[in-house]
């Protein structure tokens, strides 16, 4: 059953739908949850016998069987079609062992093709699970066996790379234990999978965004906000209007339709993980959302960051972390004497949040925090680093207005990006993009506590390849946000652009330039790369990096995995609209972009 958000229909009918939805929320939602994701879990407890998983829903060993099928999922009084793995949503937790070879058979019981991509795992490209790039896909009724060596430890996840299946439930966590003793081992571990869910199918979301790019934005600026001094000053608003841009357009699909979840639980369902005072608790946090970057915090409890994207980092203590879509972070926390602590994942645009609870015993609920004031973009997010210039004092009828018009023109100057194909799909080019690795992420610029930046992350272990790159390439993230067109270098994936070619073993610097006003979590399959910040030996290694609006990120890559690999924005609708390319690594490839 799929429920529309349309206001059509009688009040009587809607009341009955809501009542039915509330019933389904209890019967369908909880029934789909695997044991590892259920509330009240003791987590993964370390003892003499090693790691012991609390409850079932955790699959381990060298031979694993997964079955993908249709189902129903409900939360918050709303129910809709879902795609499940072994009958659960989220999918089973896979607990693998570094140094082993694993065989995972995936049976497709859907009426359409499916696939599974092992996000962040270094596998042969034929096992990477991207239809049309690395393998044909799994047809209805067929079974495909993925077989690959487990080459590294850490926190990862898996999801479909077919259609929009990831958005309707086909995602699950992967925990890989190291061959030797784990230096990050704690008395207790909890796995937290963050996600977004809507009864509106993602294909319908895309259709609505194509009709109106701000369809789901319910936080636009108003006359009342202007008069109260809560929104942009008039001069700023006029400047943005002239450039046909919206300073509140931060997330395409928002809390106006999404329910935000922790391990499949909304705030009302209150996922609870247990602890005992004095324990060190490791939180393995995965953002498995389709379209939501989350601001993650535990008020009153500092977060010590010990790993990012499965790679250990030198410990950094902070209070809040923006976890982009497809990123993973490992935190160590040390709960004190309080009965409960609120785990808070707030959407980047502050249109909603989900609260879970760390508690000393089952049945307790932490306080639900209020949503903070929604953020507003600035000229820096347009790629115009104007030194914090306040336009509120400008005489918009004089030469300042002409200056803003000049800026508007410069945002469409093709000379700043000669490699970009100009056309209706490219509305702007960042005229002055700056490295924003040391910037606080979007919306967290002015919060009154510590916020993690990429520049703070340092690899715990020396990077295996510290050679100076032999060449560099620019990759522009491009869009016409008003028409909901997304691309790389002005070309969408449907235009079949030439692959980005690397020679096997070469060292390349890739400059990602965000020519849009929205952050983009960019993921490269089959490789880790090092963000260019700090000394070469300890640069953090990532598989996904969030490129802030109007900014740029440089990473160094050793192209050490032969084959064809997907390279894309991990905002699902952006990827499906065309923000995706193929990276090809060949022994005989020496071409340049």
| N- to C-terminal Cα separation, the chain | 48
- 382 pLDDT band, cuts 50/70/90, is low
Angle between helices 234-242 and 399-410 (to 10 degrees): 40
Between vectors from CA 297 to CA 293 and to CA 302, what angle results, nearest 5°? 140
The answer, yes or no, to whether residue 23 has pLDDT greater than 50, is no
Q: Which long-range contacts (CB under 8 A, 24 or more apart) does 403-411 make?
A: 404/239, 404/242, 404/243, 405/242, 407/243, 407/431, 408/242, 408/243, 411/243, 411/382, 411/383, 411/384
Q: What is the pLDDT of residues 258-279, one digit of tens each?
A: 999 999 999 999 999 999 999 9
DSSP character string of 116-155: -EEET----GGGS--BTTTB--B-TT-EEEEEEE----EE
pLDDT (average), residues 113-124: 99
DSSP character string of 293-334: -EEEE-TTS-EEEEEETTEEEEEEEESEEEE-TT-EEEEEE-
Which has the higher per-residue pLDDT, 593 or 234?
234
pLDDT (average), residues 423-441: 87
Helix (H, G, I), strand (E, B) or coil at 589: coil
Cβ neighbours of residue 176 closer than 8 Å, sequence gap 6 or more: 95, 96, 97, 98, 150, 152, 153, 154, 155, 156, 310
Cβ neighbours of residue 366 closer than 8 Å, sequence gap 6 or more: 340, 341, 342, 343, 355, 357, 358, 359
Q: How far is CA 71 from CA 36, 49, 89, 361, in A?
A: 19, 37, 9, 32
The pLDDT score that the predictor gives to residue 242 is 58
Which has the higher per-residue pLDDT, 407 or 530?
530
pLDDT (average), residues 86-97: 96
pLDDT (average), residues 541-559: 97
- The alpha carbon dihedral of 224, 230, 236, 240 has a sign of negative
The pLDDT score that the predictor gives to residue 111 is 97
Q: What is the pLDDT of residues 283-323, one digit of tens each?
A: 999 999 999 999 999 999 999 999 999 999 999 999 999 99
- Which of 441, 428, 447 shows the shortest CA–CA distance to 384? 428
Which has the higher per-residue pLDDT, 25 or 355?
355
Helix (H, G, I), strand (E, B) or coil at 493: helix
Report the percentage of the chain scoring pLDDT > 90.
69
3-state secondary structure string across 247-295: CCCCCCCCCCCCEEEECCECCCCCCEEECCCCCCEEEEEEECCCCCCEE
- 224 pLDDT band, cuts 50/70/90, is low
Cβ neighbours of residue 551 closer than 8 Å, sequence gap 6 or more: 383, 430, 433, 434, 435, 436, 439, 514
Residue 336, burial from CB neighbour count under 10 angstroms (0-12, 13-18, 19+): exposed
Locate 478 and state its tokens.
């491009």
- Which of 42, 181, 159 shows the shortest CA–CA distance to 94? 159
DSSP character string of 222-233: -HHHHHTT-S--
Least confident of 163-172, 224-233, 266-275, 428-437: 224-233
The answer, yes or no, to whether residue 27 has pLDDT greater than 90, is no
The pLDDT score that the predictor gives to residue 511 is 98
For the 11-184 domain, the top CATH level (class) is mainly beta
DSSP character string of 176-188: EE-SS--TT--SE
- The alpha carbon dihedral of 342, 347, 349, 350 has a sign of negative
The pLDDT score that the predictor gives to residue 160 is 99
The answer, yes or no, to whether residue 232 has pLDDT greater than 90, is no
The pLDDT score that the predictor gives to residue 86 is 96
- CA 34, distance to chain mean position in Å, is 22
**CA–CA distance, 140 with 474 (Å, rounded to integer):** 40
Cβ neighbours of residue 470 closer than 8 Å, sequence gap 6 or more: 506, 507, 508
Q: Which residues pair with 101 in a beta bridge?
A: 149
**CA–CA distance, 360 with 12 (Å, rounded to integer):** 43
pLDDT (average), residues 19-39: 63
Least confident of 24-38, 457-471, 549-563: 24-38
Locate 241 and state its tokens.
């209007």
pLDDT (average), residues 501-513: 97
Reported residue count of the chain is 593
The answer, yes or no, to whether residue 586 has pLDDT greater than 90, is yes
> Look-up: residue for tokens 């609390």?
54
Cβ atoms within 10 Å of 467's Cβ, excluding its own: 11
Break the chain into its structural domains and give their ranges.
11-184, 375-593
CB 65 within 8 A of CB 87: no
Cβ neighbours of residue 211 closer than 8 Å, sequence gap 6 or more: none
Query: Mean pLDDT score of the chain, rounded to an integer?
Result: 86
- Which of 173, 177, 196, 170 shows the shortest CA–CA distance to 83? 170
Cβ atoms within 10 Å of 504's Cβ, excluding its own: 15
The pLDDT score that the predictor gives to residue 417 is 74
Helix (H, G, I), strand (E, B) or coil at 391: helix
The pLDDT score that the predictor gives to residue 174 is 98
- 30 pLDDT band, cuts 50/70/90, is low
11-184 with 375-593: one CATH topology?
A: yes
The pLDDT score that the predictor gives to residue 110 is 98
Cβ neighbours of residue 171 closer than 8 Å, sequence gap 6 or more: 90, 91, 157, 158, 159, 160, 193, 195, 288
Pick the CATH number of 375-593 from 2.60.40.420, 3.40.50.2300, 3.50.50.60, 1.10.10.10: 2.60.40.420
Between vectors from CA 251 to CA 30 and to CA 434, what angle results, nearest 5°? 130
The pLDDT score that the predictor gives to residue 24 is 43
- Which of 203, 201, 240 shows the shortest CA–CA distance to 220? 240
DSSP state, 482? T
- 471 pLDDT band, cuts 50/70/90, is very high
The answer, yes or no, to whether residue 381 has pLDDT greater than 70, is no
């Amino acid at each position: 059953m799929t429920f529309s958000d349309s206001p059509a229909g009688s009040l009587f009918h809607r009341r009955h739908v809501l009542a039915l939805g509330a019933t389904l929320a209890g019967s369908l939602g909880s029934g789909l949850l695997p044991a590892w994701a259920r509330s009240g879990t003791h987590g993964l407890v370390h003892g003499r016998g090693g790691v012991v998983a609390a409850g079932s829903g955790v699959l381990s060993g060298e031979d694993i069987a997964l079955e993908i099928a249709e189902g129903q999922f409900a939360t918050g009084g709303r129910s809709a079609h879902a795609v499940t793995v072994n009958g659960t949503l989220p999918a089973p937790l896979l607990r693998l062992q570094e140094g082993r070879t694993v065989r995972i058979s995936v049976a497709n019981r859907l009426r359409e093709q499916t696939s599974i991509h092992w996000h962040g795992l270094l596998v042969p490209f034929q096992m990477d699970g991207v239809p049309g790039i690395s393998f044909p896909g799994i047809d209805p009724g067929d079974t495909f066996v993925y077989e690959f060596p487990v080459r590294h430890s850490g926190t990862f996840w898996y999801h479909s790379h077919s259609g929009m299946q990831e958005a309707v439930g086909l995602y699950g966590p992967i925990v890989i234990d190291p061959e030797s003793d784990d230096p990050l081992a704690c008395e207790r571990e909890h796995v937290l999978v963050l996600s977004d869910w809507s009864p509106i199918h993602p294909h319908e979301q895309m259709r609505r965004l194509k009709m109106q790019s701000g369809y789901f934005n319910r936080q636009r600026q108003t006359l009342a906000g202007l008069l109260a001094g809560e929104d942009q000053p008039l001069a700023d608003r006029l400047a943005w209007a002239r450039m046909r841009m919206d300073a509140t357009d931060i997330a395409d699909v928002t809390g106006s339709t999404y329910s935000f979840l922790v391990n499949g639980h909304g705030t009302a369902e209150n996922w609870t993980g247990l602890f005992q005072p004095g324990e060190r608790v490791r939180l393995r946090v995965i953002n498995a959302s389709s379209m939501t970057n989350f601001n993650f915090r535990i008020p009153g409890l500092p977060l010590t960051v010990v790993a990012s994207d499965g790679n250990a980092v030198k410990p950094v203590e902070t209070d809040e972390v923006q976890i982009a879509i497809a990123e993973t972070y490992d935190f160590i926390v040390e709960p004190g004497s309080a009965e409960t602590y609120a785990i808070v994942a707030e959407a980047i645009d502050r249109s909603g949040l989900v609260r879970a609870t760390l508690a000393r015993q089952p049945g307790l609920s932490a306080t639900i925090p209020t949503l903070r004031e929604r953020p507003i973009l600035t000229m820096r997010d347009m790629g115009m680093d104007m030194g914090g210039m306040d336009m509120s004092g400008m005489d918009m009828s004089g030469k300042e207005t002409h200056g803003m018009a000049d800026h508007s023109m410069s945002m469409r100057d093709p000379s700043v990006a000669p490699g970009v194909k100009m056309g209706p799909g490219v509305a702007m080019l960042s005229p002055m993009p700056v490295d924003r690795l040391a910037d606080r992420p979007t919306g967290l610029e002015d919060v009154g506590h510590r916020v993690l930046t990429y520049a703070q992350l340092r690899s715990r272990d020396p990077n295996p390849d510290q050679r100076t790159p032999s060449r560099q390439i620019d990759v522009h993230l491009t869009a016409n946000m008003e028409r909901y067109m997304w691309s790389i270098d002005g070309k969408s994936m449907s235009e079949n652009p030439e692959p980005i070619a690397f020679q096997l073993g070469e060292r390349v610097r890739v400059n990602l330039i965000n020519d849009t006003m929205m952050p983009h979590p960019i993921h490269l399959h089959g490789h880790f790369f090092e963000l260019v910040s700090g000394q070469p030996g300890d640069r953090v290694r990532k598989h996904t990096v969030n490129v802030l609006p109007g900014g740029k990120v440089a990473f160094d890559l050793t192209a050490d995995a032969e084959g064809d690999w997907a390279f894309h924005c991990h905002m699902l609708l952006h990827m499906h609209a065309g923000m995706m390319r193929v990276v090809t690594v060949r022994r005989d490839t020496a071409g340049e972009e």
